[in-house]
Structure 1
Amino acid sequence: MVPALPAGAGGFRRRGCGGERTGPPTDTETDRGRSWSVEVEQQRHRDGEGELQRADCRLQNVQGGMMRILYAVTVAGSAYNLLRGQLGWLRVRGHDVHLACAPGPELAAVAAREGVPVHPLPLVREPSWGRDLPALLAAVRLVRRLRPDVVFAATTKAGLVLMTAARLCRVRRRIRAVWGLRHETLHGRRRSVVRLAERASCRFANTVVAISPSIAARLQAESIAPSDRIVTPGPGTCNGVDARRFARIPERAAAGRALRRELGVPAGGLVIGFVGRLVRDKGIAELLSAFRRLRPRFDGLRLLLVGGFETGDALAASVRAELARDPGIILAGRVADPVRFYHAMDVLCLPSRREGFPNVPLEAAAAELPVVTTDATGACDSVAAGVTGLVVPVGDVAALTEALARLAAFPGLRRQM
């Protein structure tokens, strides 16, 4: 069970998925708040292991033996970042695990790390009948050849293609994991098409795994998935986070200080960090606007962006140009392991417009970093408002600026979170 939330912790009014909390914390609540972030991450890791163990038992009990499981995601990067350890965990317990996704530079790395065979499929993120039909035919051929006992598909396009193929091939156990709802930030016909694809993939599944309570609520509210098929793992998680990997130990703290010097952060300067894809849905434009407002108020302020630009959901050219030319903004690019970057930050900001259940706030909490995020679907589930971070309304630059300013101005509040 996740540790209880310290009542009133933080001393500020915070809005999140569960409403508002007010009032100054008592000494006992403050002490509890300081340790809560690491405690909850360790518990989430244990819960994640428990979920996998229970799932493993279910797989063994279905036929009295091990299963052939076909995982599917749209792009290899999703498998690399969001299925870390899960495929290998099942493999070492005797299951025959396969992965299907679009070709990409990370695909070989996933195969080597997890020790599972991979099957490239011609999947693309954007709707395209000319490319989706060949992908469906390829998926049907793959399912017929492998004859899996279970098909587990995440992300919108892989969900639609593989759930359809599994249904056509009469695979009995079809699991659709909803890692986010793309249509939330789309408009017009494109929104309708993506939402229809999401609905179809969930209807073709036996089980729909909503990775956060707010995703589950949205699936039911929009009638995307039947309520009796929706399950959420514990308090919500995509793949769990190993808190030990990110914990603030002396060696990692020293590596973080060295990285700050390497990046040219002035002594005493404050670093606001971001980890993720540099795209519109992550709220990069809002983060840039908030940073502009904060710079005159805090000497030596730096914005550290860890992640790469993408062509899908691309940032406006003006935003990208300003990120590149501002000397106070550090573009680290994509990194294989973000651990030392967390330890070079003072605050982690994830101003997303939509999420499923982001791992980044959990990783930051494990590194004892305070987090500022939004009340977007999924994001609001990843922070205990006033305890591990602050929650602001989606798209509200003024509120985002104020939340970051409070953490920048009060080191004690940062340490408490």
Structure 2
Amino acid sequence: MISLYKILHTTCHTRWGSLEKRIFNESVWMEKKGHKIIIVAPKDTHLFLKAKKHGFKVYGIEFNKLSIIKDYKLLKSTFYNEKPDIINTHGNKDSRLALFAAEKTRIPLRILSRHNNAHVRNSWYNRRVYKKLCHYIFTTTDYTTKHLQKVFKLKPMQIFSIPNGITEPGHLLEKAKARKALAQELGLDPGTKFIGFVGRVSQDKGISTLLEAFKKIKHKLLGYHLAIAGEGTNEYINSLKSLARNLQIETQIHFTGFKKDVWPFYRALACKVLPSSLDIKGVPFEETPQALIEAMICECPVIGSKNDGIVDIIDHEKTGLLFKTNDSSDLADKILQTLQYEGITKERIKTARDLVKKHHTIDAMGRDIIRIYRLHQIKMEKQYLF
């Protein structure tokens, strides 16, 4: 029985979000345990460049519609030459090509990772991908696991919910210093306090609901400002600035852009809000949010909408507070509860941090994944013997 594996990850995605962070952080952890890592991703993307700089072997494949045949041949050639023990695919385009190529080249263990909650149709093609071409499916939320089990009639040992694990920061800035540093960065009074958001700045994140909630209670929150950290399109950010002007809170709303080092930002916040909405079909899109887990480990109180993925992390009134999705009045009430009842909030902060350290670190995630690798290997060796 081999104890160290050669693991190959593929993705068609080009941004630097929780999916790409998951691949990179998991790969670094696996490498430290002695496993060999290969990354296949579109060339010159954040993940490709970061993986290459780290020292992983990388292959650039674009996964474009116009290069399907070329990409498939490149994948088959890569798999044949590298002979990985495990392939893990992470996007729709790369999964369909890479799983076919992996089956043809007889990769021993094939995993399809599903990182969002979008519903999947029970088509002949999807049944082949989800039931035949991969041995296991990894999801990041219980919602997605239950949906796929229902659609494809999957057995419990075919699909696993494995939320993203974070690498705990080695040092955390003292909270008062972090808050004053953020105030200085934004040109504000050193005594300014912050309610914050971290993540992709897009409509589905429900940031407009946060602005509307802040408007309702700003008279009770003297000295508080909203800080929004993350990237978004100019069009959408301008629409939020326009909304802030209409609500007459524009001087208290700040867009910081992407934060390379996000830990001091969490430490500067009096609370972190994730107000994600549903998609147009009423389906919760949110995977298990890494931003919530990061905030919890930084002892920052959290508030989230009742959106699957979020409810996997926030146990209402135990690790944080939940509000009715898209309900700015309910969110406003939850913000006031968090800020005004400090003793109860501190209890939730401790419970949340303990939860993350036990179940949502990179070590916990890595151990769960390795356990599945080992179980599959034992299963295959038993079949070979008999």
TM-score by length of 2: 0.75
Deviation at 1:349, TM superposition (A): 0.6
**Aligned counterpart, 2:340:** 409
Report the residue type matching 1:319 in the other structure. Answer: L
**Pair 109,360 (structure 1): closer, same or farther in 2 beyond 3 Å:** same
Q: Deviations over 1:1-57 (max 9, x none)?
A: xxxxxxxxxxxxxxxxxxxxxxxxxxxxxxxxxxxxxxxxxxxxxxxxxxxxxxxxx
Q: Deviations over 1:309-353 (max 9, x none)?
A: 159xx8486336546992211111112110100111110011123
Does the 8 Å contact 1:199/1:225 carry over to 2?
no
**Aligned counterpart, 2:161:** 232
**Aligned counterpart, 1:338:** 262
In 1, Cα distance between equivalents of 2:288 and 2:136: 18
In 2, Cα distance between equivalents of 1:339 and 1:287: 22
Matched residue SS, 1:222: helix
**Pair 231,254 (structure 1): closer, same or farther in 2 beyond 3 Å:** same
**Pair 321,171 (structure 1): closer, same or farther in 2 beyond 3 Å:** farther
In 1, Cα distance between equivalents of 2:256 and 2:153: 38
Q: Deviations over 1:206-238 (max 9, x none)?
A: 0112233333223223338554401234xxx21
**Aligned counterpart, 2:30:** 90
Report the aligned-residue RMSD. 3.2
In 2, Cα distance between equivalents of 1:275 and 1:308: 9
Aligned length: 334
Map 1:78-227 → 2, pairs under 5 A = 78=17, 80-103=20-43, 104-113=45-54, 115-123=55-63, 129-130=65-66, 134-181=70-117, 183=118, 201-203=129-131, 204-223=133-152, 225-227=154-156
- Which runs of 5 or more residues in structure 1 are unaligned? 1-60, 185-190
Is 1:329 equivalent to 2:253 in the alignment? yes
In 2, Cα distance between equivalents of 1:199 and 1:273: 42
Does the 8 Å contact 1:75/1:123 carry over to 2?
no
Matched residue SS, 2:316: coil
Is 1:309 equivalent to 2:237 in the alignment? no
Matched residue SS, 2:295: helix
**Aligned counterpart, 1:348:** 272
Q: Deviations over 1:361-397 (max 9, x none)?
A: 1111111111111222211111222122101233333
**Pair 382,145 (structure 1): closer, same or farther in 2 beyond 3 Å:** same
Does the 8 Å contact 1:156/1:197 carry over to 2?
no
Report the residue type matching 1:215 in the other structure. Answer: T
Does the 8 Å contact 2:12/2:93 carry over to 1?
yes
In 2, Cα distance between equivalents of 1:159 and 1:310: 28
Does the 8 Å contact 1:71/1:98 carry over to 2?
yes
In 2, Cα distance between equivalents of 1:323 and 1:168: 55
Map 1:235-250 → 2, pairs under 5 A = 237-238=163-164, 240-245=165-170, 250=174
**Pair 320,367 (structure 1): closer, same or farther in 2 beyond 3 Å:** same
Matched residue SS, 1:346: strand
In 2, Cα distance between equivalents of 1:199 and 1:280: 32
In 1, Cα distance between equivalents of 2:276 and 2:22: 17
Deviation at 1:69, TM superposition (A): 1.4
Matched residue SS, 1:159: helix
In 1, Cα distance between equivalents of 2:198 and 2:273: 8
**Pair 156,296 (structure 1): closer, same or farther in 2 beyond 3 Å:** farther
**Aligned counterpart, 2:239:** 318
In 2, Cα distance between equivalents of 1:147 and 1:220: 31
In 2, Cα distance between equivalents of 1:323 and 1:158: 40
User: Of the two structures, which has the highest relative contact order with CA contacts closer than 8 Å and spacing of 6 or more?
Assistant: 1
**Pair 131,392 (structure 1): closer, same or farther in 2 beyond 3 Å:** farther
In 1, Cα distance between equivalents of 2:134 and 2:297: 34
Deviation at 1:197, TM superposition (A): 8.0
Does the 8 Å contact 1:246/1:363 carry over to 2?
no
In 2, Cα distance between equivalents of 1:272 and 1:221: 39
**Pair 390,200 (structure 1): closer, same or farther in 2 beyond 3 Å:** farther
In 2, Cα distance between equivalents of 1:281 and 1:360: 15
Map 1:260-339 → 2, pairs under 5 A = 260-266=183-189, 268-310=191-233, 315=236, 318-319=239-240, 321-322=242-243, 326-339=250-263
**Pair 141,387 (structure 1): closer, same or farther in 2 beyond 3 Å:** same
Matched residue SS, 1:122: coil
Deviation at 1:356, TM superposition (A): 1.9
Does the 8 Å contact 1:68/1:97 carry over to 2?
yes
In 1, Cα distance between equivalents of 2:125 and 2:56: 28
In 2, Cα distance between equivalents of 1:399 and 1:197: 43
**Aligned counterpart, 2:372:** none
Is 1:381 equivalent to 2:312 in the alignment? yes
Matched residue SS, 1:71: strand
